[in-house]
Amino acid sequence: MPYVKRIDHVAIVVEDIETALGFWRDALGLEVTLIEDVPDMHSKVAFLETGYSEIELVRPTDKESGIYRYLKEHGPSMHHICLEVNNIRAFIQRLVGQGVRMINTEPVVGTGGRLIAFIHPKSAQGVLVELYELTGQELEMRPSRSRSLLIRFLSRLKTQISNSLRSRRSNDQR
């Protein structure tokens, strides 16, 4: 069964990556994990780690792109929220079956080799929602992402073991 795993990132459209990094990296102290040109999306992006999620800074590189039009209309601002899912194709199929309007009904390869698809804002109370599935290619391209995912996995495992031990002790005391 397809399901949402977590919030992967929040994307912010900016006029200039370096200027934006002056706040997100320098003032807040967030670590930059990737800066990359994404020709297919007509943008340049920077990802900053925030624990189990990231901030994505997006700068349009083409004046004909939707991201450029968004920036001109709204100014620098939040653009979308991205949810990591376990099976993007099955998730899209389920959403379409429920009448959810998709921008793309087939996933495309996005930044770092990830599989992505977008839910139209009209189906999500005005919010552009990106769906994302982790790929092996992305882990190879982004070692910091691999480290972050390993830390998250180990943290969850520790919590599950602690809860299990607590439950076992409670049952033994009865």
Per-residue pLDDT reduced to its tens digit, 116-173: 999 999 999 999 999 999 876 665 555 555 555 565 556 667 777 888 888 887 777 7
Taking the domains of the chain in order of start, what are their residue ranges?
4-138
Q: Which residues contact 118 (CB under 8 A, 6 or more apart)?
A: 80, 102, 103, 104, 128, 129, 130, 131
Residue with tokens 């999500």: 124
SS3 at position 121: helix
Query: How far is it, in rounded angstroms, from Cα 62 to Cα 43?
Result: 7
SS3 at position 58: strand
Structure tokens at 111: 């930044």
Q: In this predicted model, which residue has the larger pLDDT, 62 or 146?
A: 62
- Report the relative pairing of strands 54-60 and 4-13 from DSSP bridges: parallel
Q: In this predicted model, which residue has the larger pLDDT, 140 or 14?
A: 14
- What's CA 139's distance to the chain center, in Å? 14
Q: What is the CATH number of domain 4-138?
A: 3.10.180.10
